[in-house]
């Protein structure tokens, strides 16, 4: 039995492309259905817990505050001292007085 060379293929070369597009359309449709049926239960604004705002003064003390502290503890301050040097002397004197009392 001899087969003819004129065998007609039934597969369309676009069938894979069409199949892919059909799957894509189906996924989009399912996503829309999920979004449409999604139930959202938002809480009222008044019931939301808001963290308390506590402002901490982490900034270094000003020069005036340091001069007042030095005067209170009896430290003789030289005007040429920088803020860092003045703070260091105040902390050393306070540390020394705390350790002498205990």
Per-residue pLDDT tens over the stretch 15-47: 788 889 999 999 999 999 999 998 887 777 666
Confidence of residue 10 (pLDDT cuts 50, 70, 90): low
pLDDT at 3 (0 to 100): 60
**Eight-state DSSP code of residue 48:** S
Buried b (16+ CB within 10 A) or exposed e, 58-97: eeeeeeeebbebbeeeebeeeeeeeeeebbebbeeeeeee
pTM over cut 0.85: no
């Amino acid at each position: 039995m001899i087969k003819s060379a004129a065998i007609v293929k039934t597969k369309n070369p676009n069938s894979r492309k069409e199949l892919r597009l059909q799957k894509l359309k189906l996924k989009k449709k399912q996503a829309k259905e999920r979004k449409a049926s999604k139930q959202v239960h938002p809480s009222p604004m008044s019931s939301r817990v808001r963290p308390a705002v506590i402002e901490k003064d982490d900034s270094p003390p000003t020069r005036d505050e340091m001069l007042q502290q030095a005067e209170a503890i009896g430290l003789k301050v030289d005007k040429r001292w920088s803020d860092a040097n003045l703070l260091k002397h105040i902390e050393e004197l306070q540390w020394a007085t705390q350790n002498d009392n205990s």
